[in-house]
Chain A
């Protein structure tokens, strides 16, 4: 990889006592690029932000910002703008002063004059729909409003990197949708790289140019959103991404009449041509895991060979679609039906699995084959 002017982490590790918070992490964000870091609690998302901001020092590895190594520089010399998940507002200062405070900080080399501060303040308050609240004190705000103040404070600066740690987690669905759009438009128009951390994998897919999936401090996959969704690198990523997550079925691969089939006690499914060509079954493939998206399961209207009867054991009617859980052999599968069927728990349903987008994982390692 060539050096670029954005953000780069190379083989960064940080442990607290005996626990690896982050291990051998290599990711980068180009100028104007948004990368999302997603994963469950304990993944290392916040530690990653703190390492880049200089609030923690890595045990090993290199961090560069705008082609300059900052690994061991103090926070104020990094030109990094961080939004804390905990907000960290000054309780005695108004919203406007909280936001302006960092812009006035004497140690910043990108300090703005008062006219510029006023302009940026107005701009970020409008962006987050907070224009009326500049004079309020933090204790007069709701949790969602406090979060937006913290977001404004980070965005008002003109840094070399934006670090947004769960920037919209506490807002309602409608405002989250609006802010994803507003923030993305603004951030990609700037020449600044952004790292956006979120436990919500769907938020990561929708807002980022590339997504880094972290689990227990280790990078599982770093790729474009469509690739993360369609080709998860391993079963850990597959379990994390999607609404609902991918179904994972245990079984084996067999070759029959030139076709490649996935088979277990409950089903036998012909895999697409692409998989047949790519997968070398010279090796033993008695243990694999097949990943199938819930939306790739449909209700079978006719009773072909490939239709399967299953007993419904959960039914979740989300208005425009229903998520139906059913037992398929030893596995419980979830199907997402966009035309909501009038079914209920314990009903028997005829379904068909579509293998066109299926992903095959190694049964032992969990890695995609």
Chain B
């Protein structure tokens, strides 16, 4: 296994720039996810790492070796595809053995290599099965087995769970993660699904329009999104993004919306007070960090009425129309709720729950280390 490093990698298709000076580093033994909406450049990045597309500018290293000019076959990379890409007329064993047969390994050696892989993937009892009769999850495990026996330096997982039913998705994502940690393999996971990236990766690269938006651990992306794109992309229901105006009053400051305001605590105030009075900002608040109540005594700093509520099993998702404007705030609540659509509610945004973004650049002012 080996590390993977991209330095200022760009890819052009005619006038379209698929990736834009992309740089990131995946340590040996780590799983890194490339995450973003369709058209964000993650598939182009995958193809350049695999050697299927040429790098137009910049460098890609696998371990210490520059691979820009190496063919796919020279790179020792294995791929796991979303549609499994198994040989339909072969058994489980034959599918996994195929790369070794191509290398003309003797049968005895092949069996020696494959047995532990079958065991690792829980496929011991299905070695002779026709792969067409297996569940989607088992087929994908065969595909992973075929990748593992080659002992590659890197495995690329291209949307590996897309075609599976929900229960198999949950099971296989845990299995892949466990396998990756146990075997110490280096993996690049390409996905549009934040759940998969969060469950399987050590580090997540979020991309949009060919540009890296943020690289961080899943928890850190959730807690400290670098910009509005990441803030909206990570988390379901999405973070509330509310237009506010900065008002400075002596050594305090207030974030003022339509008919309501929030007073941030000292730490937040210090980060944003260097900005000008009256500056347009976006206040970001996670739905589960807003308190909601009907009782007058504990009403918070925002008042509104319940426009819509959704049952989600462990939680309720409430959409609240803020009084005196057309702002809607989404709240996720784990309480048992004894009110319904139309109820008057008070919302409390606690000071520690805030993210503050610049309305123009979209940057998170609380985490941004560049000058603004």
Interface residues of A (CB under 8 A from B): 40-41, 142-143, 172-174, 177, 180-181, 184-185, 199-202, 205-207, 225-226, 229, 239-245, 293, 295, 313-314, 316-320, 323, 325, 336, 338, 340, 345
Task: Out of B166, B222, B232, B311, name the residue touching A174 (CB < 8 Å).
Answer: B232
Collect the chain B residues with CB atoms within 8 Å of residue A244's CB.
170
A-B contact pairs, 15 of them (CB 8 A): A40-B167, A174-B232, A177-B237, A181-B310, A199-B165, A202-B312, A205-B312, A206-B317, A239-B167, A245-B166, A316-B177, A316-B198, A317-B219, A318-B222, A320-B332
Residues of A within 8 A of B198 (CB): 316-319
Neighbouring A residues of B222 by C-beta, 8 Å: 317-320
In whole Å, how far is B230's beta carbon from the nearest beta carbon of chain A? 12
Taking a contact as CB atoms under 8 Å apart, the answer to whether A205 and B181 are in contact is: no
Contacts of B221 in A (CB 8 A): 319
Q: In the complex, are the beta carbons of A240 and B311 less than 8 A apart?
A: no
Q: Are A314 and B178 in contact (CB under 8 A)?
A: yes
- A317 to B194 Cα, complex, angstroms: 11
Chain A residue, CB-CB nearest to B314: A295
Interface of A is mostly: mixed
In the bound complex, CA of A323 to CA of B221 (Å)? 17
A173 touches B237 (CB 8 A): yes
Q: For A230, give the chain B residue with the smallest CB separation.
A: B313
A199 touches B234 (CB 8 A): no
The answer to whether A177 touches B238, judged by C-beta atoms less than 8 angstroms apart, is yes
The answer to whether B47 has its CB under 8 Å from any CB of chain A is no
Asked if B174 and A316 make an inter-chain contact with CB atoms under 8 angstroms apart, the answer reads: yes
Interface string of B172-186 (1 = CB under 8 A from A): 011001100100000
- One of B38, B166, B217, B219 near A200 (C-beta < 8 A): B166
New A-B pairs, 6, CB < 8 Å, besides A40-B167, A243-B312, A293-B313? A40-B166, A229-B311, A242-B314, A313-B178, A318-B199, A340-B219
Closest Cβ neighbor of B223 among chain A residues: A319
Q: Which B residues are CB-close (under 8 A) to A143?
A: 38
A242-B313 in contact given A314-B177, A319-B218, A320-B286 (Cβ < 8 Å)? yes
Contact with A along B291-324 (1 / 0, CB 8 A): 0000000000000000110111110010100000
| Nearest 3 Cβ contacts at the A-B interface | A319-B222, A40-B165, A206-B310
Q: A199-B165, A314-B178, A320-B222 are in contact. Are A206 and B311 (CB under 8 A)?
A: yes
Q: Which chain B residues lie closer than 8 Å to A314 at the CB level? A: 174, 177-178
**A104 to B232, alpha carbons, bound, how many Å?**
40
Min distance, Cβ A316 to any Cβ of chain B, angstroms: 4
Q: Are A320 and B313 interface neighbours, CB within 8 A?
A: no
Residue of B nearest to A240 (CB): B167
Max chain A C-beta neighbours (<10 A), residue from B310, B330, B334: B310
Return chain A residues, CB-CB under 8 Å to B313: 202, 205, 229, 241-243, 293
Candidates B38, B218, B236; contact of A317 at CB < 8 Å? B218
- Residues of B within 8 Å of A177, CB to CB, are 236-238, 310, 317, 330
Q: How far is the CA of A185 from the CA of B199 in the complex (A)?
A: 34
- Does B258 lie at the interface of the complex (its beta carbon under 8 Å from any beta carbon of A)? no
The A-contacting residues of B in range 16-31, CB under 8 angstroms, are none
CB distance A181 to B238 under 8 Å? no
CA distance A177 to B332 in the complex (A): 13
Contacts of B71 in A (CB 8 A): none
Partner of A240, one of B166, B178, B237: B166
Task: Check if A225 sits within 8 Å of B311, measured CB to CB.
Answer: yes
Instruction: Specify which chain A residues have a CB less than 8 angstroms from the CB of B165 in the assembled complex.
Output: 40-41, 199
Cβ of B235 under 8 Å from chain A? yes
Q: A242: nearest residue on chain B (CB-CB)?
A: B313
Bound CA span A241–B166, Å? 9
Tell me which residues across on chain A come within 8 A of B286, comparing CB atoms.
Answer: 319-320
Give the residue name and chain of the A residue nearest to B236 (CB): A173
Chain B residue numbers with a CB within 8 Å of A340 are: 219
Instruction: Report Cα–Cα, A316/B193, bound state, in Å.
Output: 14
CB proximity of A176 to chain B, nearest CB, Å:
9
- Chain B residues positioned under 8 Å from A320 (CB to CB): 222, 235, 286, 288, 332
Pick the contact of B308 from A185, A239, A325 — CB < 8 Å? A185
* Nearest CB in chain B to that of A340: its residue: B219
| B288 near A245: Cβ-Cβ < 8 Å | no
With contacts A177-B317, A242-B313, A318-B195 taken as known, whether A199 is within 8 angstroms of B174 at the C-beta atoms is no
Which residue on chain A has the smallest CB distance to residue B217? Answer: A317
B42 to chain A, nearest CB (A): 15
Report the bound CA distance from A323 to B170 in whole Å.
Answer: 11
Instruction: Using A239-B167, A245-B170 as known contacts, say yes or no to A172 and B234 having CB atoms under 8 A apart.
Output: no
